[in-house]
Amino acid sequence: MASTLRVALAQLAFSDQPVIDRDRVTAAIREAAAAGAELIVLPEIHGGYYFCQTEDPAQFDRAESIPGPSTDYYSAIARELSVVLILSLFERRAAGLYHNTAVVIERDGTIAGRYRKMHIPDDPAYYEKFYFTPGDLGFEPIQTSVGKLGVLVCWDQWYPEAARLMALAGAELLIYPTAIGWDPQDVPEEQQRQLEAWQTVQRGHAIANGIPVLSVNRVGFEPSPDPAAAGSQFWGSSFIAGPQGEWLAKAGDREPELLIADLDRDRSEQVRRIWPFLRDRRIDAYGDLVRRYRD
């Protein structure tokens, strides 16, 4: 492999019109490939609006099988452009069994692997437990032509255990397709605290594990199907951080943006030599981590 890897994050806004949204995604992929990106990451559930703001059985019609129409479509693009793509789909595994799933498409258009979201939130405007079964594939990196990718999804990003297990399994990058935003009724000070917490915890995963983090969010206001609800203002702010948490690229919080950065493949090795956190872990003393809480 080359000593650097050019990566791209497609921070996008969505219209909830399937043809328009797919065209936007496709245009971003083509622009990233034209700029030399070898790995391109799309936001969480990028087929339209984030539909989990309410609980509605009709929304299950959005789900599809894997392989299926979306993987067929994006596989053809990956093969044409010779890029690795990370998709985020609403997977229909069986009747009544659905997952929030990231799919990695290899340069030749084959499916390199998938990750099913493990941590499922259930909060106002994020009613994911109604739609998604928790993942059952574990925290296993996906081997690709651009490296071993530790793909996680959104709510997973708040859990250091998920990042650590990916790193312990050999992940060279941590990648988080995301859909997160503000309640428009929150005061600006609270909105800023939430955004900074989101950035900080993920940069912490980069530091604690000595590997880069790529986090791509959607952006823009999406109304709630519930007329009494405020809707969600997705805050964008996609970013790429290096293995010491250093900023390599940052997007704004209001507009679609294509974020591109070159990753130094040797830097994680160098950082881990001076900050050998994996060496000094006290694995003999961590047994209580498998308990819910120490009463």
pLDDT of amino acid 49: 97
What would the pLDDT profile of 90-103 be if each residue is shown by its tens digit?
999 999 999 999 99
Average pLDDT over residues 271-292: 96
Cβ atoms of 135 and 99 closer than 8 Å: yes
Domain ranges of the chain: 4-290
pLDDT of amino acid 2: 81
C-alpha to C-alpha distance for 41 and 177, rounded to whole angstroms: 7
In order, the DSSP letters of 65-116 are -SSSHHHHHHHHHHHHHT-EEEEEEEEEEETTEEEEEEEEE-TTS-EEEEEE
Give the H/E segment covering residue 22. helix 18-34
Looking at the structure, give the CATH architecture of the domain made up of residues 4-290: 4-Layer Sandwich (3.60)
- Strand 84-94: give its sheet, edge to edge: 111-116, 97-105, 84-94, 39-41, 4-11, 257-264
| Active site residues per annotation | 44, 117, 154
3-state SS, one letter per residue, for 151-215: ECCHHHHHCHHHHHHHHHCCCCEEEEEECCEECCCCCHHHHHHHHHHHHHHHHHHHHHHCCCEEE
pLDDT of amino acid 1: 74
Give the alpha-carbon dihedral of 120, 59, 221, 218, to 10 degrees.
Answer: 50
C-alpha to C-alpha distance for 218 and 237, rounded to whole angstroms: 9
What would the pLDDT profile of 50-98 be if each residue is shown by its tens digit?
999 999 999 999 999 999 999 999 999 999 999 999 999 999 999 999 9
* φ and ψ of 151, to 5 deg: -90, 125
What would the pLDDT profile of 136-177 be if each residue is shown by its tens digit?
999 999 999 999 999 999 999 999 999 999 999 999 999 999
Cβ atoms of 32 and 38 closer than 8 Å: no
Q: How much of the chain, in percent, has pLDDT values that exceed 90?
A: 99
Average pLDDT over residues 188-210: 98
